[in-house]
């Protein structure tokens, strides 16, 4: 799978972000927060389109955290899925 630069967008609906990833740039830990319901799954891709991290859940969490200390520096695309939407956001790892 290849993700071109046009895929790297933060989806905004009615003037409100659908989710956030912080801190950005990433260091040792990443937190993803959904504003459109519980997170069903999220996937992180590197610039080559390789899946770096994937997580699926049937839980009710709207916030998840995971470690990123062992990731290479560079640009990543986070794809978030809820019952209502699929959105993507780019992040940088320092």
pLDDT of residue 57: 83
Domains of the chain as residue ranges with CATH: 5-93 (2.60.40.3080)
The residues, ordered by sequence, that sit 6+ positions from 42 with a Cβ below 8 Å of its Cβ are 32, 53, 54, 55, 64, 78, 79, 80, 81
pLDDT band at 30 (very low <50, low <70, confident <90, very high): very high
pLDDT in tens, 31-57: 999 998 999 999 999 999 999 999 998
pLDDT of residue 58: 72
Between 37 and 11, the higher pLDDT residue: 37
Mean pLDDT of 59-74: 92
What is the value of pTM for the model shown?
0.77
CA atoms of 55 and 13, how far apart (whole Å): 24
SS (H, E, C) 29-42: EEEEEECCCCCCEE
């Amino acid at each position: 799978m290849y993700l071109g630069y046009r895929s790297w967008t933060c989806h905004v609906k009615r003037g409100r972000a659908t989710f956030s990833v912080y801190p950005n740039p990433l260091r040792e830990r990443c937190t993803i927060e959904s504003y459109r319901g519980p997170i069903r799954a999220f996937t992180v891709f590197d610039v080559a389109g390789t899946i770096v991290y994937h997580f699926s859940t049937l839980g009710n969490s709207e916030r998840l955290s995971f470690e990123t200390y062992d990731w290479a520096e560079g640009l990543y695309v986070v794809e978030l899925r809820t019952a209502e939407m699929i959105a993507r956001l780019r992040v940088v790892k320092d």
